[in-house]
């Protein structure tokens, strides 16, 4: 654990979810495969040339850029758009769009967080209020993080995506704390650390992704393993 800055007294620990508390890479791949398997079962979709899903997603991202802060609605709207281009009846467009998204969502939340991580969170919960702030669309109540967090803030429904300060500001308002009383832990310098820093919160960078980031600012604390947070107990 490396300290780059002194930390003022903390009341709230805020956690990113994907790739912070579990490895999200295989989960996303499985979720995309589940959605694609359903889509390929639709004859009109299956005969489309190239990566038709990617074309639909890109089209909606370009024509409705406001949806990029809400990955759930972006996916849903892109599916509806793609179906609507296939000559299907409206009821079939709606049915297939819902089913394709549900295939994705079910696999997306098929997660088991390691017992050691759960034990760490429950120990920290005795001293701090625990919340989650995520740009993703995982449904925490569907796996073994259910009940761990006081609140879960999702980009889109609860505010603009990190690194925008909106989700952090919402948390401060709801929990009646100052930004300096929140310590946010996440794996991304670009979204988690930058977002927390911009909001005036303290930040912990979990350096576990071997990724090159654009943000050159420093986290207040750097760790290589989530279990290093045990010193906060």
Residues annotated as part of the active site? 16
Q: In Å, how far are 26, 152, 203 from 178, measured between CA atoms?
A: 36, 18, 14
**Angstrom distance (rounded) from CA 63 to CA 219:** 35
**Angstrom distance (rounded) from CA 39 to CA 152:** 30
At 56, list the tokens: 């639909």
At 49, list the tokens: 């040339």
The burial of 162, by beta-carbon neighbours within 10 Å (0-12 exposed, 13-18 middle, 19 or more buried), is given as buried
**Angstrom distance (rounded) from CA 68 to CA 73:** 9
**Angstrom distance (rounded) from CA 53 to CA 33:** 12
């Amino acid at each position: 654990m490396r300290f780059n800055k002194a930390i003022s007294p903390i009341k709230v620990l805020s956690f990113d979810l994907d790739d912070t508390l579990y490895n999200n890479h295989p989960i996303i791949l499985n979720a995309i495969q589940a959605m694609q398997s359903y889509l390929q079962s639709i004859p009109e979709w299956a005969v489309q040339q190239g990566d038709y899903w990617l074309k639909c997603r890109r089209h909606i991202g370009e024509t409705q850029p406001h949806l990029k802060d809400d990955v759930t609605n972006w996916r849903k709207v892109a599916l509806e758009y793609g179906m609507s281009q296939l000559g299907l009846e409206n009821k079939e467009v709606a049915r297939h769009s819902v089913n394709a998204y549900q295939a994705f969502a079910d696999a997306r939340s098929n997660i088991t967080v390691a017992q050691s991580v759960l034990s760490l969170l429950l120990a920290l919960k005795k001293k701090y209020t625990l919340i989650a702030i995520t740009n993703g669309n995982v449904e925490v109540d569907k796996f073994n993080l259910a009940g761990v967090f006081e609140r879960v803030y999702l980009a889109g429904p609860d505010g603009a995506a990190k690194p925008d300060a909106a989700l952090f500001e919402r948390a401060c308002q709801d929990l009646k704390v100052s930004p300096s009383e929140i310590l946010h832990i996440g794996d991304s310098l670009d979204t988690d650390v930058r977002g927390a820093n911009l909001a005036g919160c303290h930040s912990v960078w979990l350096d576990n992704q071997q990724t090159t980031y654009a943000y050159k600012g420093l986290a207040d604390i750097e760790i290589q393993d989530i279990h290093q947070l045990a010193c906060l107990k």
